[in-house]
Amino acid sequence: MDAFFISVEERDDPSLRGKPAAVCGSLSRSVVTSANYEARPFGIRAGMPVQEAKRRCPPLILVEGDHSKYTETSARIFSIMKDYTPLVEVASIDEAYLDVTQSQLLFKSALHIAQSIKERIREKERLTCSIGVAPNKLLAKLGSRLQKPDGLVIIEKEKVEEILKDLPVSSLHGIGPKLEEALKSIGISTCGQLGKVHVSFLKKRFGVIGERLQEMGLGLDDSPVVPFDEEEDAKSISHSVTLEEDTSDSNLLRKVLLQLSERVSRRMRKDGFYGRRVVLTVRYSDFYTFSKQKALSRWINSGNEIFREALEIFESLPHPKPIRLL
């Protein structure tokens, strides 16, 4: 969805349209959770403290978020998607992956499905969304980002190399600011360059994620679309910890992540469980809480593997405030 939270607010209060506006956790002391496209030229982005946002854009209109309203809207939108395929993986409240491989005979083509979904969301919810149609999840996510808002981008398999050649590595989902800077420090700024670097070099520099980085540079991704319904009866195992003091110390936070990964792994091995989805939840000093998940193509239960995936998620996120809970 396009700027989902604030778009819902604009739908319900048309007076916000055409003006810089943002949703935040509270009107006094919180962070921006969603900014409209009029606010973005001022540098307003999700995770920015509201005081900083107002400093950058004094006329910015702040709207206190209504999570129940967003959840209800989101559920209706996901229901529309399930009319086209049962293979709908909910990635977050405003994002999903669909596998329409087996649906194209019924609905003509993937392009037709995407156009129909956009039309129905616009008609029923008065909202816009951006869709990427591609051979895998990595490229579909990329496509959805290329023409926001209200975009529809098709990435065909035979054109992947051409599209990625000069595209900044930051365009790829999973490469955050820190990883982007690390890649730039060794002369890698485009996806084309990343795909040409030897795996052994990337592994030596970045450890276990080196191989995955090269695959991303080549536009490869074998992670499946995992429907929520498929996992409803599955067991989940989790651990969390509230830190003694709010902190931005990356070394300390990595140690905490490792400890949590080992605790989860110990329980999984004890009960003979394996999993293929890692979810990381971060709560900041202002109590804003954010979760991000990653579906894997393989089943895992070792502490090191869980830690690697959790760390990759952690490092792909901006952390605007000290962290209170992991």
* Whole-number pLDDT of residue 181: 92
β-pair type (131-133, 242-247):
unpaired
What are the structural domains, with CATH classification, of the chain? 4-65 (3.40.1170.60), 68-157 (3.30.70.270), 159-217 (1.10.150.20), 234-325 (3.30.1490.100)
- Nearest Cα neighbor of 326 from 246, 230, 213 is 246
- At 155, the amino acid letter reads I
- The catalytic site residues sit at 95
Whole-angstrom distance, CA of residue 26 vs CA of residue 46: 14
Q: Are strands 88-92 and 95-98 parallel, antiparallel or unpaired?
A: antiparallel
C-alpha distances out from residue 230 to 93, 95, 112, 300, Å: 18, 18, 26, 18
Count CB-CB contacts under 10 A for residue 102.
10
Quote the pTM value.
0.71
Instruction: Give pLDDT, residue 142.
Output: 97
Question: Which pLDDT belongs to residue 210?
Answer: 87
Asked if 153 and 167 touch (Cβ cutoff 8 Å), the reply is no
The angle at the Cα of 149, spanning 148 to 153, to the nearest 5 degrees, equals 50
Q: Please name which of 279, 254, 284, 218 lies closest in space to residue 31, comparing C-alpha atoms.
A: 284
pLDDT of residue 170: 93
Strand 61-64 vs strand 21-24: parallel, antiparallel, or unpaired? Answer: parallel
Q: What is the mean pLDDT of each run of 10 residues along the chain (326 residues)?
A: 96 96 78 93 90 95 89 92 92 90 90 97 97 96 95 96 96 87 95 95 86 93 77 66 86 90 86 86 80 87 90 85 89
Sheet with strand 32-35: strands edge to edge = 32-35, 21-24, 61-64
Q: What is the pLDDT of residue 311?
A: 93
User: What is the distance between the terminal CA atoms of the chain, rounded to a whole angstrom?
Assistant: 27
Radius of gyration of the chain (CA): 20
Q: What is the pLDDT of residue 65?
A: 87
Do 211 and 239 form a contact (C-beta atoms < 8 A)? no
